[in-house]
Structure 1
Amino acid sequence: MLQRFKRRSALLLPVLASLTLFGGGLTALALMYNLEANASDNSLEAVERRGYLRVGVDASIGGAYMFWNPTTEYYDGFEWDIAQQLAQQLGVQVRPVNIPWTDQLEALRRNRVDLVLSARERGSIANREFTDSQAYYRSPQRLLVRTEDAQKLTSLRSLVGKRLGVVADSGGAAVVETYNRNRGNAVRLFSSRDMERLLRLLTNRRIDAILIDEPVAAWQVQQSQGQRGARLAMVGRPLLPVDLVGVLESKDQALKAAVDRAIDRMRQVGTLKSILQQWNLWDSTSSTAPSESSAGSRNLTSLTTMPSWDFQSHRILLVSVNVT
């Protein structure tokens, strides 16, 4: 293939020279270099020849994203289901490579994995070395409360004067901090980096609710059904939905195109819907299901004004958030 391109490049050179005379040289040269880059990109071919797609995951993220299932003694979660379906669409097997979240991009750079699928938000990586796939899920923030409070605690407004837990530096924290900034610290905010601690405080009635990623909230609701103590419920409208994407190296355009086509196909035939329904993640976001046309769009529901979002520090920079 590369030799064929070189012959084609030789034929293009006289054309490029003539275009230069008429001021079109830069455009033509850019076209030639793009063709050369595409011709030398064997990222998809390498996966097909190998027979499996190496997917970077982090099982410590937990349900319902990705986790280690002690019953099956293997990976589980909706992102794992999506990874399997992606590989199937590409006609290969999937091979998970468990890598801490903070080390995954370096693993991509060192060619240890082909794709990272690990709760990555669209646009969160500034480094041009990497590129996002199409979105496979739009993840909002949801209120998690004790079932006994599910009818009365359904919004931030209903939590005025009450204690609300958030994960430090998360999307949920940004929403509540902005809400409080506009309303004089109306909600009593409790912030922690320890999700297990937040859950203990909620079940022990030390806090009244948690604002957390929908996959985590849905998973905790499911887990609480079979445990002693307070049962949990997910309530209220979805807030601040963000697109979740796979991450690849920017140079692997052939593989990216194949992954994007696979996600498109999964969306068209209902595979994505089926997976998200299985994990109780479809209903709240079906009206704003992810698509390529919605790239970068993170509209808040109903009365919420979309902020300018700083992905690096998870802070809202300039907003007026009106959440009922």
Structure 2
Amino acid sequence: MTSTPSIQTVHDLSTDFQGFITTGDKYFDEALGGGILPGTITELVGSSSTGKTQLALQLSLTVQLPRSQGGLGGSTCYITTKIALHTQRLLEIQANHPLLSTLSPNETLDRIKTVATDNFPKLLRALKEDIHIAKRTLDESGFPLRLLIIDSVNFVFNTETKTTAKSLIERSKEVTELALILHRLASENIAILVINDVNSVFNSNKTSVNKPSDTVIYIDQARWFGRGDGASADGPVEAGMGLVWANQIGTRIMLTRTGRRRYVPKFRESKRQIVAFDDDNVASSSPRPDDTNSEGTTIALRQLSVVFSQFSAPSTLDYIITSAGVVSQNAHET
């Protein structure tokens, strides 16, 4: 008699399992199979104003929480390629998010080391040299490095030179080299979070014309690994960096603007004011939580899609951006 194989979890497969890093939102965590896992590469991809950096900042804070609260008691190395780290936004999220109230503002910033790069050679140098210096310092502080963020990776590959077969081959080599370094770092029990941008998709009904039925056409297959399920207000988009990069990451999370808005009643937190943001990340006239006469406001809805993951099935859910960070609509309504 053949026994039915039992389903194993990540906890069962590894005795060294350290736990996931919570996103700070239980519905996001559920969609991701638990959160962000050290030892893997996770990508946040989306157009501007979707909250990619906001969520990255949020994770650089939640990783500092003790394990009992969903963190790893660890620190972050945050590599920037376009603009400097938003320290004031970090402190705002820390001050308003219910989970993060136990963190000290001064200690919070001490546990986030930042490195600025603006091209591919500098990024490689940061990953080969600077991060090890930061790791040694953080490990000695008692809050070991548990999260590495690159914001954003595609910027260092953007060039003004004409795209040719030779340049594409060279770029593929560079992407592979970068991925190899990131996998090595991930093997040191570090969660890798990489921010990526999107490219517009130009659909054509002639794509598959006169092609054999068994031919795999990239534009037909890309929707399974490069696009979310939701309709984007920016039109059809797909993750940048191409197939070579897609094969190197374990989880792809796509953030999109939906063009939809929803009435949001006043937040129910009693001790802190939570301010909602509109499409331009400008604070809306959100009511004070203790004002019983306030009715609420309407704010922009965005959508998070788990395109693919090692730990969960594809899924989508709506979210909003507030002074407390990125919050799922379900979490706000409970």
Instruction: Give the TM-score of the pair, scaled to structure 2.
Output: 0.30
> More helix per residue: 1 or 2?
1
Instruction: Give the TM-score of the pair, scaled to structure 1.
Output: 0.30
Highest CA radius of gyration, 1 or 2? 1
